[in-house]
């Protein structure tokens, strides 16, 4: 049967538009899932089933990731199989307790089974929507854990465009001050807890290319974003952060300062 000569062009155009909208929606959801892993957002088992596993589009992303079910103090990693059941790293069917919570697993949650999960996904030729199993992990030094500054990144010269790119990873630019210059960028890590980066020149609002390169003067942990004053009390310590949050902060800054 041939397509209707009058209706077919409009139908093809509509279908093409739908495909574009699905691709855009999928890209947005990938960013949301990655952010959920970084911030360790949790859902109930029922929410996970209803919002993700039963969703006609999202479940295609969900089944390409490793999840962590937690109940009664025990955490078990699992994936969503092709038939929408749950399976552990041994590919055995897993039943989540009704009171379980679910989160996206970070590599630090999978220390003893990371290689096995990577091998399983490779065997099934499952391509992940963002780096999860192969995600680099980072750790604080003893000195960094005991303090409120990350001096290893201070003094590094970075392109301003790369500095602005931190916004895609949840960082926010500071309030414009004299002459409309933003003196810092910060990322909120919890209630009254921010990691802050202060570049030497700052970012000129509306003219971000005024200073094409910046030197990172200070990188520190604070109860609020703002200028760094050595004389002010800084009660927070990087060692108080959970390992996942610390790893992701270090990952952001390592990426920022890498050549």
Residue 49 lies in domain = 7-123
Q: Are residues 12 and 74 both part of a single domain?
A: yes
Q: Are residues 105 and 206 both part of a single domain?
A: no
pLDDT tens digits, 180-229: 899 999 999 999 999 999 999 999 888 878 889 999 999 999 999 999 99
**Residue 27 located in a structural domain:** yes
Separation of alpha carbons 9 and 16, rounded Å? 11
**Residue 130 located in a structural domain:** no
Locus of tokens 């552990």: 88
Domain total in the chain: 2
Chain mean pLDDT for the chain: 91
**Number of Cβ within a 10 Å radius of residue 9:** 11
pLDDT of residue 259: 77
Q: Are residues 110 and 146 both part of a single domain?
A: no
Q: Are residues 153 and 116 both part of a single domain?
A: no
Separation of alpha carbons 109 and 121, rounded Å? 17
- What is the DSSP-derived secondary structure letter of residue 128? P
Q: What is the CATH number of the domain that holds 168?
A: 3.30.310
Q: Are residues 61 and 148 both part of a single domain?
A: no
pLDDT tens digits, 130-168: 999 999 999 999 999 999 999 999 999 999 999 999 999
Q: Is the separation of the CB atoms in 251 and 191 below 8 Å?
A: no
Q: Are residues 230 and 149 both part of a single domain?
A: yes
Does position 103 have pLDDT exceeding 60, yes or no?
A: yes
Q: Which two tokens stand for residue 22?
A: 């699905």
Q: Are residues 118 and 181 both part of a single domain?
A: no
């Amino acid at each position: 049967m041939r397509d209707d000569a009058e209706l077919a062009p409009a139908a093809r155009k509509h279908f093409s538009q739908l495909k574009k909208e699905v691709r855009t929606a999928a890209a947005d959801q990938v960013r949301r899932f990655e952010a959920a892993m970084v911030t360790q957002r949790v859902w109930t088992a029922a929410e996970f089933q209803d919002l993700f596993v039963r969703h006609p589009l999202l479940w295609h992303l969900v089944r390409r990731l490793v999840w962590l079910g937690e109940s009664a103090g025990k955490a078990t990693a699992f994936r969503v199989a092709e038939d929408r059941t749950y399976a552990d790293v041994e590919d055995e069917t897993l039943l989540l307790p009704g009171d379980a919570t679910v989160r996206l697993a970070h590599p630090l949650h999978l220390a003893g089974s990371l290689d096995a999960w990577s091998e399983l996904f490779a065997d099934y030729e499952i391509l992940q929507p963002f780096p999860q199993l192969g995600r680099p992990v980072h750790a604080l030094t003893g000195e960094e854990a005991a303090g409120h500054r990350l001096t290893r990144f201070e003094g590094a010269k970075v392109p301003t465009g790369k500095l602005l790119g931190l916004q895609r990873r949840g960082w926010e630019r500071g309030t414009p001050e004299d002459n409309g210059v933003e003196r810092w960028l910060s990322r909120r890590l919890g209630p009254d807890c921010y990691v802050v980066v202060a570049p030497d020149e700052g970012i000129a609002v509306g003219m971000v290319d005024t200073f094409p390169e910046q030197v990172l003067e200070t990188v520190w942990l604070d109860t609020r974003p703002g200028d760094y004053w050595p004389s002010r009390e800084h009660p927070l310590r990087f060692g108080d952060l959970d390992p996942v949050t610390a790893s992701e902060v270090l990952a952001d800054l390592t990426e920022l300062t890498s050549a």
